[in-house]
Chain A
Amino acid sequence: MAHFLKPWSILSARSSRTEHADQCFQSQNCIRSPECFVQENFGRQEQHLEQHYNDVLQTLSQRYDDRETGLQEEKKSKLESLYKQLVACGQALDTSKELIETAQEVYRCQDERLFLKVAQLGLLRDFFFLEFAKEDIDLSLSTSLEFSTPLADLSDVKTMMDSINVVPAPSAPVINPQLPNSATQTSLHVCWSLFSDDTVEYYELYYRPVLEDTPADSTCVKVKETHCTVTDLLHNAQYELWVTATNTTGISPASEKALYMTVPSPPAIKQRECSSCPEAALIRWESGNTNPVDSYIVELSETGTVGAESNITESIVAVPTCQCLIQLQAGRQYLISVRAVNIGGPSDRSDAITISTTGTFFYLLEDTAHPCLSMSEDGFTIFYGDEELCVAILGDLIPVRGRHYWEVEVDDETEFRVGVAYEDTERDGYLGANGSSWCMRHIRTPSRHKYEFLHNGWSPDLRITVHPVRIGVALDYDRGTLSFFNANLEQHLHTFHCRFHNYVHPCFSLDNPGALTVHNGIQAPDYTFI
């Protein structure tokens, strides 16, 4: 075993040289200087060497043990065998001795009669012979006194010794999990590291998108560094990546497969589905991605009441669905945008929407409009061309209790109904004819104007001397009132008192050919909520 110690002495000789390099290394401030590389490479070599020699030594030691054990066993078995033989011989001798004694006794016997008897039994001789013949004493040794020395198969040790001089193929690298904020919509930044201090010439990174049914083909990128940015990817998509390391000896096994995800595309805010009031805004958007995302982030900044950039930014994270009701402060203006988020990180910001918290603002719900009703392009004027029908449309009032105010512009001739209704109000019925809607109705006769304030088909009896062309509607959920005003004159017309058990929608209908226009986002005048 002594000659195997040699490699150790080589190592110890080298260690003194490392001290110098060590000092150089310590004196640097962790800057990657050439000394550092020497130190590192040296370290790798040293470790590699140590590893190899250790392996060889261990293997030889193992063989020695095996061989020795083998010899011991052989010895044991030979001895046993010989011992058995000896015992057998001993027994044979004893048996023979008995026979001889018996024969001698018979011979010494003086009794002639007995001798005759025995002679008659001429078998005696045969008996002895048989007895002796039985014991075919093998006096040759049962086992050889020599030990066999089979050829030791040290071919693998030889290979190992040879390979000391050869750089091994690298082991499988370790691919890192996805770092936050390292991905974009179309690219992923992947990092990996070496499992041990292998020498590597280059790496090959493989990636493929994770598809639902058949596995996709993978793409391969050759890089020298331990990181790579892959581009030209799909947004909001999952990719499977693995990496191999190659040197002159060969290719390492593949690393474990890592799953990375590209960030989503930004959402698109649906302008016509957003509404607001002095205390809040309801924002709705489209995801912007065909596959689901994890959540959304809504970001808002105040642009200031006098246009000065105050940039107070607020973020609402972990929004699970494509809408968000945000609490705001009255009389301000905000810019609101949305991002989609998955494990790869957040998308870019969507285009921003401007929300003004002066008054209550809502769009008309086009899909609630009677088919005979048409709408202006800005979505705030409705037109009706036929006779005899009550054609209505609802407004998308933000579902927030409190006070809301809007105005309706009408002309002298149009017969209309304006008011509020529960969402599930009968769409075939007339506004105000049932218990789920309240409205002011204008009827035109040749001689005069008539007005009704309808709920459950009943109206008080009123006369109004000046026809309102701009009607203010004030809704107060907490007080349970719905009031109507001639906004131009600041004249109160009528108030319904009702406890609204659910949210209501503004409703507008035309009873004869004509038009009306909705104005909102107006701060409620003081007199409307005395």
Chain B
Amino acid sequence: MALTQVSSNKCAGGFQKVFEHDSTELKCKMKFAIYLPPKAETDKCPVLYWLSGLTCTEQNFITKAGSQLAAAEHGIIIVAPDTSPRGCNIEGEDESWDFGTGAGFYVNATQDPWKTNYRMYSYVTEELPKLINANFSTDPDRMSISGHSMGGHGALICALKNPGKYKAVSAFAPICNPVQCPWGQKAFTGYLGADRSAWEAYDATVLAASYSGPQLDILIDQGRDDQFLSASQLLPDNLIAVCSEKKIPVVFRLQPGYDHSYFFIYSFINDHIKHHAKYLNA
């Protein structure tokens, strides 16, 4: 579990670092970004896991989202892993931008040739937290999860599948109902096979319908001018309907004029970090 520091930059009074390690789940070298707020020098801090979307690496969030100031203010460590295993040389992994490299979909693949390496679900929920807790000044009991688009889908399913593990959850333009949208159907077919019942284990809308556990408080921001929203890739209404039915507290905000880009994330990241801080610092 050796970590190699790839880069370190002072930022907002703390440090934005990138590390590399050998992942046991993914069987390859993986990078992740970690922001350490000033408070981490003296105290154990809670951790927010950020899952990025299609085509992203560990770099997009830390260079474009503008999260460091709020993280420093609230004393929160932010960990941003990569979005899929890299350099595994699997055939077809680079064919599409929405499947394979950069499109892990945060599942544990059961189909060949993906099942050996494409275990992003376990990486994010098991291996990475252990690694972070062992190497940094963290409070292992206080973690939360968030993400954008595919990462939003990842955050929602991690929270729904692990009741009580995450103190808070939020998402930007998440893929809410992958079994019903083209992206999800393509990815799940490839990673999980044709059996749709296997898909449901990774669908936030389906998981919400059968969720039982500690009360959640989900914040979702969605750009109204998001092209993928109008392309029916995101389907937030389905999730809202189920959550209304099942009394899962959600505040869903449709933001006029905003699109799917990091400019949208940048605009509302402070609200999300504040939302997480309320529970992480309670």
Which A residues form the contact surface with B (CB < 8 A)? 448, 460-466, 486, 489-494, 526-527, 530
Instruction: Knowing A526-B282, A527-B282 are in contact, say whether A489-B275 is a contact too (CB < 8 A).
Output: no
Decide if A464 touches B217 in the complex (CB within 8 Å).
no
Q: Find A462's partner among B251, B275, B277, B278 (CB 8 Å cutoff).
A: B251
Which one of A490, A493, A527 contacts B251 once the chains associate, using CB atoms below 8 Å?
A493
B253 close to chain A: CB less than 8 A: yes
The answer on a CB contact under 8 Å between B224 and A464 is no
- State A375–B77 Cα separation when bound (angstroms): 51
The 5 closest A-B pairs by CB, nearest first: A461-B254, A465-B243, A463-B252, A465-B250, A465-B244
Tally chain B residues at the interface, Cβ within 8 Å: 22
Q: Which of B219, B244, B247, B275 is most buried by chain A, counting CB atoms within 10 A of its CB? A: B244
CB pairs A–B below 8 angstroms (7 shown)? A461-B255, A465-B250, A466-B244, A491-B217, A492-B219, A492-B275, A530-B277
Within 8 Å CB of A491, what residues of B? 217, 249, 251
Residues of B within 8 A of A461 (CB): 224, 253-256
- With a cutoff of 8 Å between Cβ atoms, the chain B residues found around residue A448 in the complex are 244
- Tell whether B18 is near chain A: CB-to-CB under 8 Å: no
**B247 with A466: CB separation less than 8 A:** yes
Task: Give chain B residues whose Cβ lies under 8 Å from the Cβ of A527.
Answer: 278, 282
**A527 to B74, alpha carbons, bound, how many Å?**
13
Which of chain B's residues has its CB closest to A463's CB? Answer: B252
Bound together, the chains give a CA A460 to CA B248 distance in angstroms of 21
Bound complex: CA A492 to CA B275 (Å): 8
Given A448-B244, A461-B254, A465-B240, the answer on whether A489 and B274 have CB atoms closer than 8 Å is no
Contacts of B265-280 to chain A: CB distance below 8 A:
274-275, 277-278
List residues of B (210-268) whose CB comes within 8 Å of A's CBs.
215, 217, 219, 224, 240, 243-244, 247-256
Contacts of A493 in B (CB 8 A): 251
B residues in contact with A486, CB < 8 Å = 249
Cross-chain contact B249 with A462 (CB below 8 angstroms)? no
Chain A residue contacts of B255, Cβ below 8 A: 460-461
A530 and B278 contact, Cβ closer than 8 Å, known pairs A461-B253, A461-B254, A465-B240:
yes
A-B contact count (CB 8 A): 57
Chain A contacts of B244 at CB under 8 A?
Answer: 448, 465-466
User: Which of A448, A463, A492 has the most B CB atoms < 10 Å from its CB?
Assistant: A463
Shortest beta-carbon distance from B179 to chain A in Å: 20
Distance in angstroms from A483 CB to nearest chain B CB is: 11
Complex Cα–Cα for A460 and B215 (A): 26
B275 to chain A, nearest CB (A): 7
Q: For the complex, what is the distance from the CA of A461 to the CA of B277, rounded to whole Å?
A: 24
Extra contacts, 18 of them, besides A461-B224, A462-B251, A465-B250 (Cβ < 8 A), are A460-B254, A461-B254, A462-B252, A463-B250, A463-B254, A464-B250, A464-B251, A465-B244, A465-B247, A465-B249, A466-B243, A466-B249, A489-B217, A489-B249, A491-B249, A492-B219, A492-B278, A493-B251
Q: Provide the bound-state CA to CA distance between A494 and B217, in Å.
A: 14
Q: Which residues of A lie under 8 Å from residue B248 when comparing CB positions?
A: 465-466
Bound state CA distance, A157 and B240, in angstroms? 121
User: Is the beta-carbon distance between B215 and A492 smaller than 8 angstroms?
Assistant: no
Per the bound structure, the CA–CA distance linking A155 and B212 in Å amounts to: 126
**B55 shortest CB reach to chain A, Å:** 28
Q: Give bound CA distance, A463 to B277, whole Å.
A: 22
**Cα–Cα distance between A372 and B107 once the two chains are bound (Å):** 59
Say whether, besides A448-B244, A489-B249, A462 and B254 are in contact (CB < 8 Å): yes
In the complex, the answer to whether B251 meets A489 with C-beta atoms within 8 Å is no
What is the bound-complex CA distance between A489 and B250, given in angstroms?
A: 11
Least Cβ distance of B245 to chain A in Å? 8
Please, which residue of chain B has its CB at the minimum distance from the CB of A528?
B278
A530 CA / B275 CA spacing, docked (Å): 9
**B217 and A490 form a contact (CB under 8 A):** yes
Q: How far is the CB of B165 from chain A (nearest CB, A)?
A: 19
Chain B contacts of A490 at CB under 8 A? 217, 278
B215 touches A489 (CB 8 A): yes
Minimum C-beta distance from B210 to chain A (A): 16
| Complex Cα spacing A463 to B278, Å | 21
Contact digits for B197-219, partner A, Cβ 8 Å, 1 yes 0 no: 00000000000000000010101
Whole-angstrom CA separation of A463 from B236 in the bound complex: 10
Q: A460 to B247, alpha carbons, bound, how many Å?
A: 22
Q: A466, A486, A490, A494: which has the most chain B beta carbons within 10 Å?
A: A466
Q: Shortest CB–CB separation between residue A224 and chain B, in angstroms? A: 81
Which residues of the partner chain B approach A460 to less than 8 Å between Cβ atoms? 253-256
Q: Cβ of B282: which chain A residues have Cβ within 8 Å of it? A: 526-527
Q: How far is the CA of A526 from the CA of B278 in the complex (A)?
A: 9
Of the candidates A448, A491, A527, the one having the most CB atoms from chain B within 10 angstroms of its own CB is A491
Contact A462 B253 (CB under 8 A): yes
Contacts of A492 in B (CB 8 A): 219, 251, 275, 278
* Chain A proximity mask over B103-142: 1 for CB below 8 Å, otherwise 0: 0000000000000000000000000000000000000000
Whole-angstrom distance from the CB of A380 to the nearest CB of chain B?
A: 27
Closest to B224 in A: A461
The smallest C-beta distance from B195 to any residue of chain A, in angstroms, reads 30
Q: Which residues of A contact B275 (CB under 8 A)?
A: 492
B250 touches A530 (CB 8 A): no
A151–B171 Cα distance when bound, in Å, is 132
Residues of A with C-beta under 8 A to B215: 489
Separation of A319 and B250 alpha carbons in the complex (Å): 52
Cβ-defined contact, A463 with B249, below 8 A: no
**In angstroms, how far is the closest chain B Cβ from the Cβ of A482?**
15
Chain A residues in 8 Å Cβ range of B224: 461
CB distance from B170 to the nearest CB of A (A): 11
A493 nearest CB neighbor, chain B only = B251
Q: Report the separation of the CA atoms of residues A492 and B271 in the bound assembly, to the nearest whole angstrom.
A: 10
Docked pose: A466 CA to B250 CA in angstroms: 7
Shortest CB distance B115–A (Å): 35
Q: In the complex, A493 Cα to B224 Cα: how many Å?
A: 19
Residue of B nearest to A486 (CB): B249
> Which chain A residue shows the least CB distance to B256?
A461
User: Complex Cα distance A530/B224, Å?
Assistant: 28
Which residue on A lies nearest to B250, using beta carbons? A465
A489 to B168 CA separation, bound complex (whole angstroms):
13
Give, as a whole number of angstroms, the nearest-CB distance from A524 to chain B. 14
CB proximity of B166 to chain A, nearest CB, Å: 16
Closest-CB distance, A214 to chain B (whole angstroms): 74
Q: Would you give the 0/1 interface string for B60-94, flagging 1 where the beta carbon is closer than 8 Å to chain A?
A: 00000000000000000000000000000000000
- Bound-state Cα–Cα, A448 to B253, Å: 17
A residues in contact with B247, CB < 8 Å: 465-466
Interchain CA distance A527-B278 in the complex, whole Å: 6
CA A465 to CA B240, docked complex, whole Å = 6
Complex: A491 Cα to B250 Cα, angstroms = 9
CA distance A489 to B253 in the complex (A): 18
Could you tell me the distance between the alpha carbons of A466 and B253 in the complex, rounded to whole angstroms?
A: 14
Q: What residue of chain B has the Cβ atom nearest to residue A489's Cβ?
A: B249
Q: How far is the CB of A372 from chain B (nearest CB, A)?
A: 32
Query: B173 CB to closest chain A CB, in angstroms?
Result: 14
Minimum CB–CB distance for A304 against chain B, Å? 30
CA A124 – CA B251 in complex, angstroms? Answer: 161
